[in-house]
Amino acid sequence: MEKIGFIGTGVMGSSMIKHLLNAGYPVQVYNRTKSRADAVVSEGAVWCDTPAAVTAQSDIVITMVGYPKDVEETYFGESGIFSKADDHHILIDMTTSTPTLARKIAAFGKESGVRTLDAPVSGGDKGAQNGTLTTMVGGEEGTFDAVKGVLSVFSSKVMLQGPAGSGQHTKMANQIMVAGTMTGMTELLVYSKAAGLDLERVIEQVGSGSAANWSLTNYAPRILKEDYSAGFFVKHFVKDLKIALDEADKLGIDLPATRQAAQLYEQLASKGFADDGTQALVKLWWGEYAEI
């Protein structure tokens, strides 16, 4: 059985690691803040002091970190993955990052015979916990075939979308749709409350018709419980929407609805809610911070 290295033990990564451990894979881990790896180490993962050390002890190295700059440092830094990677390794970046960086990693790997994939996911904290993530992959078909079984341990849908960078482009398409459903879900609740409706009844009925969507099903009930904990951080969604808009500019297309969603989430982050979950968008309308 392949030895798995996993770098990034945050909300998503920790659940993914637990699924790999439960499936019997040996897992070596690294996280910038060591204490945040304690939970997975207590369940059998082995701590390593650097990304290079993880790589030296692994066959497949998976990264799930915060921002493109973190991906860059993890792969190309002095104690980074590429300092130890060779032609027996497969490297899989599951961070939502830029297609440009995914292609850079792939090109650098190809020069030294290292196989790489970009494979961002969708499904949030619940998808990671339940092992039902949607994993969108860019890279070569042979490399994808070699690791599809590993990715399927914590995913319900794993698909190769094209060459390097295609996974990240697909994730941007995903985030564009999520932006629309999050703003729609938020305004549905704001409107319904203003109209004096029973919000639970509205969610139940609207969620069974043509307006049904993942955001409504998963986030509206959290809002009614005033649960703004992060299944997906506001700060990370701001990052994703900026990437999507930058890529849209490169493609010569305009995405006005996505641009408006990005502005709303930037406003939310500026109010001190960057570490809340994306469902906190409703705070711009409700509560002491309401401005709209």
> Which of the following is catalytic: 69, 104, 148, 171?
171
Would you list the DSSP string of 234-264?
HHHHHHHHHHHHHHHHHHT---HHHHHHHHH
CA 249 vs. chain centroid, Å, equals 22
171 part of the active site: yes
Q: Which residues, 6 or more positions from 181, have their beta carbon under 8 angstroms from its beta carbon?
A: 213, 214, 215, 216
Rounded distance between C-alpha atoms, residue 53 and residue 56, angstroms: 5
Distance CA 292, CA 276 (A): 19
Measure the CA–CA gap between 111 and 291, rounded to whole angstroms.
Answer: 52
User: Residue 219's closest CA among 262, 198, 259, 189?
Assistant: 189
Residue positions annotated with a catalytic role: 171
